[in-house]
Each structure stands twice: as structure tokens, then as C-alpha cells.
Amino acid sequence: MTAELITGIAELTTQAAESSHDSHDDNRLADAALVIENGRIAWIGPAADAPAADSEVNVHGRAVLPGWVDTHTHLVFAGDRAAEFEARMAGQRYAAGGIATTVAATRAASEADLVANARRLRREAAASGTTFLETKTGYGLDLATELRGARAAAEVADVVTFLGAHLVPPGIDRRDYLDLVTGPMLQAVAPHVDFIDAFCDTGAFDVDECREVLLAGRAAGLGLRLHGNQLGAGGGVRLAVELGCASVDHCNHLDDADVDALAGSDTVATLLPACDLSTRQPFPPARRLLDAGAHIALASNCNPGTSYTTSMPFCVATAVLQMGLTVREAVWAATRGAARAVGREHGPDAVGSLRIGGRADLQVLDAPSVAHLAYRPGVPLCVATWTEGVRADP
């Protein structure tokens, strides 16, 4: 058991205090040091009081913060949809139907190819500071490919979500497909996944169908999350709140009742700014949600259709520059707020915060403060990460 001391931290963002508010400084220490021992944080405090350790890394005046917690990705797929993206940028609207293109490519891919592609993207995410990541199925949409996808996802990600209810695939009756998703498909994937999800939106599934899917998942012992209100207003957000989902993701089209429902609940609104840019959807009302008292998270939504990026710094910068969040609110939403969206905010396996006894998942920025994430958008600032105490240099 060796202890590693990190010194020279100009600004340490811990996210250990209970709030993201700018009005207090509990989450930010200047001139700090920390000790990692056995994959955990053993000590945090002023540099001047740092204890002796077996080894020392001096980060020379840089900022240290928790690694990003990316709680919405779709990394299990084959092929890409650059042509669809180009057509969209030329004026075509995004519609959920593009998912079928990726489904065809994914069904034709081997499990090894799916794992290799997902691993490539996980490595790419790690290089920009992501130390914890969720991913999902949802591009198989038949039993065999969803099962391959669930196993592939479990090899690559920390949290896995079953999204059989992503779209009704071509060639099967809608009712028959729902019976498959809530029956044999769910039974097959359940041992490999943590959450169940459904795409509750125009062109995908309606509220009653999503309720049926999520309740079947709950009966199988899975946590609940939902894609909602991405392409239009509808009952997705309220369904998520009604069922106590850990998270409802997208939230572009919210009315007052949706905002109030989220504010009065424990359901996290997971916002996906890179997707909004890539689909030219209006940004979700992030400021309104926070001011109303709702919990928010930021995630990359990395997928080949609507958001082909793994970059959480890009999402943080966009949330600050385009969605009205302060830097600290955006960083919170991409770390501790995100941890809440996958039920990992508290307890021994908590992520997204740096606390004594907690997981040593952290990143070093080539900058003196987190403000540079938005102040220098697009610049790759992450120079090192530790994941459960293991160092990697991008």
C-alpha cells in the first residue's frame, strides 16, 4: 500500500460540499495537496500541511478536479452517419428514423467489433478527463443483437443501460416488439445491465408504452431512466418524475409544469448540449431548471447520429457559453450532479467528488482554474487523470 502525494495544486475542486452554489467556496481550495492511497483519497488539505508520502507528483500550479462522469452515451454501435449529419447541416431536420441506419450496421457487426469500437471511444473520452462512464444498448433491437450489445457495453462501461425501446425496428409489429422488449429481451439482458431506458418522443414511443417498458424493467430489478422531451413537448418528463426515474435525459422542450415537476422531485434532468448543437434543437432551459431548484447533469450523448463527440469539456464550455450556467454550475453538473443521475453521488462507490475515503478519480488541467474550461473552449486542457488511483496521461 503506497501513498502518492499530489502537490502544486493551484485550485482543487472537491465537490465535497452539498451544493454547487457560487455563493460559498467550500468546493474550492487554493494551494492544496492531496494523497492517494489504495485507489482512494487518503488526505486533502492545504499544501503547507501535506503529510509525507512514498512518492510525489508536483502539478506546478495547475487545477485539479474530479474526473468527468459521463452518464449518457451510446457507444455500442457500428458505422457512422456523417452523410446524415451533412444533410442536416444543409437544412434537413433530425428525425428518430436515422437510428435504423445504425441498427442495420450494428446487427452486421461481431461482438468483438462492437467492443473494439466502444473501447476506442472510451479511450477518447478518457483523454479529455472522463473517468466514469455509462453506455447503453439500443442499436440492436432484436434479441441476439441487444444481448451482444449488453455484453459489449458491460465490458467497456461502468454503468450499463438497456434501451431496447429505442425505436420499433422495421419488419415487426409494434405490439409484438413491446412484448419482446418487456419479455424475452429484458430477461436475456438483465444480468448484464443496471438501468432500463426508453425513448419517449415523437417517432419513437408514447408515454403509455414507455411506462410499460420501465415498469417491466423495475420488476426485473433495474433502475429507471428515460429519454424525454428531446424533439417536442410531451409527457416524458412527467412520466419520469411519476416513476421516480434517476434521470430524464434531453429535456429540450419543457413547459412550466415540467420544470415544476422536476424541481419537486429527485429526478435529475440530464442535459446534452453537444447533441443540441448537432441537431439544431433549442437548448434546454438550464438556467430556469436550476433557479427552480431542479437537479441537472451534463453528458456527452456520444452516438453516431446526434452527437458524435466524447468531449465533456466541450459540453461544459457549451453549457457556460450558450446555456447560461456559471462555470462552477457546469462543472458540478458534469461531476457530482452527473453522479446523482446514476445513483452514485453517495456511499463508498460515490464518484464525481473528491472526499477522504472516496474513489481517487481525478483530472489535472493545464490551467490554473476550472474557468479555463469555458474561457479557452476547444483547447484540450486535460493533462493527466487518475482512475481509482491509477494514473493515465492522455
| Residue number, 228 or 343, with CB nearest to ligand NIG | 228
| # residues contacting ligand NIG (CB under 6 A) | 12
164 binds ligand NIG (CB under 6 A): no
Stretch that binds ligand NIG, among 39-47, 96-104, 263-271, 372-380 (CB under 6 A): 96-104
Site string for ligand NIG, 48-77 (x = CB under 6 A): --------------------------x---
Distance of CA 377 to the CA centre of its chain: 20
Q: How many CA atoms lie within 13 A of 347 on its CB side?
A: 7
**Interface stretch with ligand NIG, choices 108-116, 151-159, 301-309, 328-336 (CB under 6 A):** 301-309
Counting Cα atoms < 13 Å in the Cβ hemisphere of 211 gives 10
Q: Is 6 in the site for ligand NIG (CB under 6 A)?
A: no
Q: Is 306 in the site for ligand NIG (CB under 6 A)?
A: yes
What string marks each residue from 226 to 265 as x (binds ligand NIG by CB under 6 A) or -? -x--x-----------------------------------
Is residue 196 near ligand NIG by the rule CB under 6 A?
no
- Residue whose C-beta lies closest to ligand NIG: 305
Q: Which is nearer to ligand NIG, 121 or 275 (CB)?
A: 275
Nearer to ligand NIG, 66 or 304 (CB): 304
CA dist 146 → 142, 187, 188, 189, 241 (Å):
6, 11, 9, 7, 27
Give the Cα separation of 363 and 356 in Å (integer).
16
Of 162 and 199, nearer to ligand NIG (C-beta) is 199
Return the residue of 14, 102, 252, 281 that touches ligand NIG, per CB under 6 A. Answer: 102
Q: What span, in angstroms and rounded, lies between the C-alpha atoms of 393 and 376?
A: 20
The string of DSSP letters for 370-394 reads TTHHHHSTT---EEEEEETTEEE--
For residue 358, state whether it binds ligand NIG (rule: CB under 6 A). Answer: no
- Cell digits of residue 327: 462555470
Do you know the residue count of the chain? 394
Binding site annotation covers 60? no
Give the torsion sign (CA, 297, 303, 305, 308): positive
> Is 192 among the annotated ligand-binding positions?
no
Using alpha carbons, list the distances in angstroms from residue 360 to 21, 28, 161, 317: 24, 17, 24, 24
User: Residue 98, interface with ligand NIG (CB under 6 A)?
Assistant: yes
Interaction between residue 275 and ligand NIG (CB under 6 A): yes
Query: Minimal CA–CA distance to 232: which of 258, 260, 201, 209?
Result: 201
Is 117 annotated as contributing to ligand binding?
no
Query: Closest distance between ligand NIG and the C-beta of residue 206, in Å?
Result: 15
72 is in an annotated binding site: yes
Q: What residues contact 344, with CB distance under 8 A and at least 6 apart? A: 69, 132, 159, 350, 351, 352
C-alpha dihedral (181, 182, 183, 186), degrees to nearest 10: 70
* Nearest distance in Å: CB 93, ligand NIG: 12
Tell me: does residue 195 bind ligand NIG (CB under 6 A).
Answer: no
Q: What is the helix, strand, coil percentage profile of the chain, to 5? A: 35, 25, 40
Closest CB to ligand NIG among 204 and 316?
Answer: 204
- Strands 223-228, 195-200: pairing kind: parallel
Residue 303 near ligand NIG by CB under 6 A: yes
Gap between the Cα atoms of 15 and 328, Å rounded: 10
> Which of residues 252, 301, 310, 311 is near ligand NIG by CB under 6 A?
301
Least distance from C-beta 55 to ligand NIG, angstroms?
42
Provide the grid cell at 101.
Answer: 441506419
Contact between 47 and ligand NIG by CB under 6 A: the answer reads no
For ligand NIG, give the closer residue by CB, 108 or 390.
108
**The dihedral formed by the CA atoms of 315, 316, 320 and 322, expressed in degrees to the nearest 10:** 0
CA distance 365 to 317: 14
Per-residue cell: 241: 418524475
Q: Which is nearer to ligand NIG, 4 or 146 (CB)?
A: 146
| Minimum distance of ligand NIG from residue 351's CB (angstroms) | 22
Give the residues lining the site for ligand NIG (CB under 6 A). Answer: 74, 98-99, 102, 199, 227, 230, 275, 301, 303, 305-306
